[in-house]
Structure 1
């Protein structure tokens, strides 16, 4: 009996799907100092997917980006996900694609469905999800919501139906 290493098992699992590229769409739908945890959560996932090998060119990061330099932040230009401040998540090499008031339901749906090509053809490649039928896509969202909805910037909402519709459009366009 041959014993497989954990790495070989994981490689075997992912190679069966025939996927050739990985993408991540990471969205913090909250803003303001009292939602620090949501920004820290999103930056933690961002750091993790980068560490696992997904390059910034394949990561769409949507972040209010208003915490690191907030006057209430006693550690300016930093974001931590624990009280011990072991790791600055906002350190160098954080590429925010959509920040502040660009983090909207409309832009999020456009990213997922590729509608920028039709609506705003001058949108840079770095702000587009250029996936194909051989792509794995991680969509991570954090913020406030309720049963079947998530709030964006405390100004608008996305429903579970809108999200399901966007995923269906992604599937059809693959």
Structure 2
């Protein structure tokens, strides 16, 4: 009986995750299958573009998953048609070539998965992954960023913005590698 309850709870959870994923994809105009998601983004060109800010708010080998998840999100967005120029990536970038990495120069976000580090364009690394740059990038303020390549979101009122922030946090708190922000 206990095993059945666990199975049902897990099934319900996975169904809920899939529903949230589909809803998010639909809102962003990311379509895997027109039958499943409704109108495709190519039929809705007047809706603007998709811009993305991907952030791994931690560093250190023990936080491997945060940078691997950001790298995976980068490839997922590109596979769904988001332009590389519209994706801004912030990650400390100390994991792929970490001395503890048994696969130098590679990151994986699932067992036996593909290298998600290959091909990722990291716009802000090291100390440039900070709250000030995060806010300046979101606001499209090129003069407000320091370090990195200066890339910001150049969105307009028709565009959609996707922010993926992978890290530890708590109510009213956002963590970055060398600082935390209370909100």
TM-score normalised by structure 1 residue count = 0.77
**Superposition pairs of residues 15-94 of structure 1, within 5 angstroms:** 15=44, 18-84=46-112, 86-91=113-118, 93-94=119-120
Q: For this pair of structures, how many residues does the alignment match?
A: 150
Deviations 1:76-102 (A, max 9, x none): 100001222x200011x2111101111
Instruction: Tell me what 1:11 maps to.
Output: 40
**CA–CA separation in structure 1 for the residues paired with 2:141 and 2:161:** 17
Q: Does 1:158 align with 2:142?
A: no
- 1:99 is matched with which residue: 125, 140, 146? 125
**CA–CA separation in structure 2 for the residues paired with 1:66 and 1:43:** 13
Higher relative contact order (CA 8 A, sep 6+): 1
**CA–CA separation in structure 2 for the residues paired with 1:141 and 1:100:** 16
Unaligned stretches of 5+ residues in structure 2 = 1-33
**CA–CA separation in structure 2 for the residues paired with 1:8 and 1:63:** 31
**Structure 1 residue 52, shift from structure 2 partner:** 0.4
Q: Supply the RMSD in Å over aligned alpha carbons.
A: 2.6
TM-score normalised by structure 2 residue count = 0.73
Which consecutive aligned stretches of 4+ in structure 1 deviate over 2 angstroms post-superposition?
114-117
Instruction: Tell me what 1:168 maps to.
Output: none
